[in-house]
Chains A and B, each alone.
Chain A
Amino acid sequence: MAISPMTSQLAMSALSVTEFSLWALIGLLFWNRKLYRRFPFMGAYLGLRVASMPMLLAALYMSSQPWGHAYYKLYFYAYWAVYLTSAVLLLLVSVEIFRSALSALPGLMKIGIVIFRWAILVSVVLTFSSISFVHHGIAAVPDVAIGLMRSVSVLELCLLAFLCLSMNALRLSIRDMAFGIALGFGVMSANDFVFAALIPRTPSMTANLQFIYEAMILVSLAIWVSYCAFPEAARKPLMMPANSTIYRWNEIASALGHTGTQIAVQQPANSFFLTDVEKVVEKVLTRNLKGRESES
C-alpha cells in the first residue's frame, strides 16, 4: 500500500513534535532530580536544546515571510552560534561522563582526565587540519562547526566503547547515569553517521530512511528518559583484591599526582675541575693570610 506524501509529511511532523516533547521531558526530569549538580554541562546542553528550538523556529518563520528577508541573516548567525555552542558543550559533557565513570578510582581519574583532554585536543586539531575551507571569513563558520561536531560525534562513540569494554574493571553499573548519557549520545552519533553514509547511495529510499533515522533518535531519547525517570543504583564502596591490577594502577596514579614535600634535584655541574681547584686554593690562601695577620 503506497503512502501519500501528505500522510508521510504529517507522520514526520508528528515524530518531530514527539522528539521535541521528549527533549523537554528529559530537561524537566534532569532538573527535578537535580542531576545538573553532577552533570552541569549536560544540564546546560539540555537547556540550550529546549530553549533554542522555539527561537530558531520563530526566526525561520519570519524569514519566510515576504517582509522578513532580513531575518534570514539572523537565522543564519543564530543557527551556527547554537551549533558551535552545542559542539563545545558536548566536548565538556564527554569530560563529565569520563570523570563520573572513573570517580571510584581518584588516582586513575586524575591522570585519565589529563590524557582524555589531550585526546580531545588531538582530535580537534586533526579535524581542523582535514577541513577543506571552501569559504572565507564568516562564511567559513559552517565548515568549522560541522568539522567540530563530527569530531565530537567520533569522540562520543569512542567514549561509549571505552565504557562498554572497561565497565567490569571500573565496577560501573549498567544503571549508572554516566553510562546512560554515553549510550544515548553513542546511538545518536552512530545514527547520524549511518544516515549520512546511506542517503547519497540510496536516493530512492530517502523517505524510508528518514523515518528510521527519526525512530532511532526517539530510541536514544527514550533511553535517557528511562535513565532519568528510574532511580539510579546506589554506588557501593569499591571492593577489590589488594593485588588487582587496576588497584595498583590507581595507587601509582595517586602517587604521581601527589605534590608532597619538595626535594632539590641535583643539577649537573657546569664548572670545570680546575675552577673548583682554584676556589679551594683561594680559600686556603685567605685562611693563611688571616692567620698571619693575627700572629703579627
Chain B
Amino acid sequence: MKFVIRAFALTFVLAGAAAVSLSSATTSTAANHLSATAGLPVPICGPNAPCPPDPWGTHAR
C-alpha cells in the first residue's frame, strides 16, 4: 500500500516537472488551482490595465 501511494505521488511529481518546462511560455494567462480564486474568470485587464491581444480568443473582456 505504501509503495503504491508513493509511486502514485512520484508519478504526479514527474508529470508536473515535465509539464513545467513545456508550460513555461503559456502560463502567463493560465489560472492556478492552488489559488482561492480558482474557478472564477481571471481579470487580466482592469483599472489602468488594457486588455492584451488575445491569440486564443478566450478572454471575455
Residues of A within 8 A of B (CB): 16, 19-20, 45, 48-49, 52-53, 56-57, 60, 72-73, 75-77, 79-80, 82-83, 85-87, 90, 134-135, 137-139, 142-143, 146, 149-150, 152-154, 156-157, 160-161, 163-164, 167, 174, 183, 185-200, 203, 217
CB B15 to nearest CB in A, in angstroms, measures 5
A190 pairs with B19, CB closer than 8 A: yes
- Across the interface, B46 reaches (CB within 8 A) one of A139, A154, A174, A191, namely A139
The docked-state distance in angstroms from the alpha carbon of A164 to that of B37 is: 29
B16 pairs with A138, CB closer than 8 A: no
- Whether A193 contacts B46 in the complex (CB less than 8 A), given A79-B37, A86-B35, comes out as no
Chain B interface: which size bin? 35 or more
The docked-state distance in angstroms from the alpha carbon of A193 to that of B31 is: 10
- Whether A76 contacts B15 in the complex (CB less than 8 A), given A146-B32, A153-B32, comes out as no
Q: Which residues of B contact A73 (CB under 8 A)?
A: 46-47
B15 pairs with A83, CB closer than 8 A: no
The docked-state distance in angstroms from the alpha carbon of A82 to that of B39 is: 13
B48 pairs with A86, CB closer than 8 A: no
A56 pairs with B15, CB closer than 8 A: no
Q: Which 3 A-B pairs have the closest CB atoms?
A: A190-B16, A139-B49, A76-B46
Q: Please provide the chain B residues from 11 to 55 with a CB less than 8 Å away from any CB of chain A in the complex.
A: 12-13, 15-17, 19-20, 22-23, 26-28, 30, 32-37, 39-44, 46-49, 52
Q: Which residues of B contact A48 (CB under 8 A)?
A: 36
B16 pairs with A186, CB closer than 8 A: yes
B9 pairs with A150, CB closer than 8 A: no
Q: Which residues of B contact A196 (CB under 8 A)?
A: 19, 23, 26-27, 30
- Across the interface, A156 reaches (CB within 8 A) one of B34, B39, B42, B48, namely B34
Q: Which residues of B contact A194 (CB under 8 A)?
A: 15-16, 19
- Whether A52 contacts B27 in the complex (CB less than 8 A), given A139-B49, A154-B20, A183-B9, comes out as no
A-B CB contact pairs (8 Å), 30 listed:
A45-B36, A48-B36, A49-B36, A52-B37, A83-B36, A83-B37, A86-B35, A86-B37, A87-B35, A90-B34, A137-B48, A139-B46, A142-B42, A142-B43, A142-B44, A146-B27, A154-B20, A157-B20, A164-B6, A164-B9, A167-B2, A187-B12, A188-B34, A189-B34, A192-B34, A194-B19, A196-B27, A197-B19, A199-B30, A217-B33
Q: Which residues of B contact A186 (CB under 8 A)?
A: 9, 12-13, 16
Q: Which residues of A contact B52 (CB under 8 A)?
A: 134
B10 pairs with A19, CB closer than 8 A: no
The docked-state distance in angstroms from the alpha carbon of A190 to that of B43 is: 24
A160 pairs with B46, CB closer than 8 A: no
The docked-state distance in angstroms from the alpha carbon of A161 to that of B44 is: 33
B39 pairs with A193, CB closer than 8 A: no
A200 pairs with B36, CB closer than 8 A: no
Q: Which residues of A contact B33 (CB under 8 A)?
A: 188, 191-192, 217
